[in-house]
Amino acid sequence: MRRMLVAVASGVVLLSCALAAHHANAVFDLGKRLTLTGTVTEWFWANPHCLLRFDVKNDSGEMMHWVAETQAPPNMTPFGWTKQSFAVGDQVTVTLEPVKNGSPLGRILQVKLPDGKTLVAGNGLSPSDGSGARP
């Protein structure tokens, strides 16, 4: 019985560590920002994170398939983001914090839309501080 309790307790501890790690910033290169211009291939508006997939040609002319995340939809709507913010084929300029390992992944800081409007991801800011959607 004692072994079973130890095993269950260990499982709970491991699971809670994994869940906490899910929201960690350790994977992102917080001191680095990339600005990329590309074509939207998918906008996934859902919990726990919205995902923007877009294609960018690298310096060698090869197509890179980027995936960038934002927060959950309820956290994004105060900043002007919606399910219809992007359409497949839109040309966008994305500023993001890339992951440290060099993969084409990152966390969105802001996106300039084809109409010139800029959406800011928030990342801990409140819409009232002037950091929301900008013309």
Would residue 42 count as lying in a domain? yes
Would residue 53 count as lying in a domain? yes
How many domains does the chain contain in total? 1
Q: Using CB atoms within 10 Å of the CB of residue 123, give its burial: 0 to 12 exposed, 13 to 18 middle, 19+ buried.
A: middle
Residue whose entry in the numeric block shows the structure tokens 């983001």: 81
Q: What is the pLDDT of residues 116-126, one digit of tens each?
A: 999 999 765 54
Work out the mean pLDDT of the chain and round it to a whole number: 81
Domain containing residue 73: 27-129
Which is more confident, 7 or 72? 72
Q: What is the pLDDT of residues 69-83, one digit of tens each?
A: 999 999 999 999 999
List the alpha helices (DSSP H) in the chain. 2-22, 73-76
pLDDT value of residue 17: 38
Average pLDDT over residues 48-71: 96
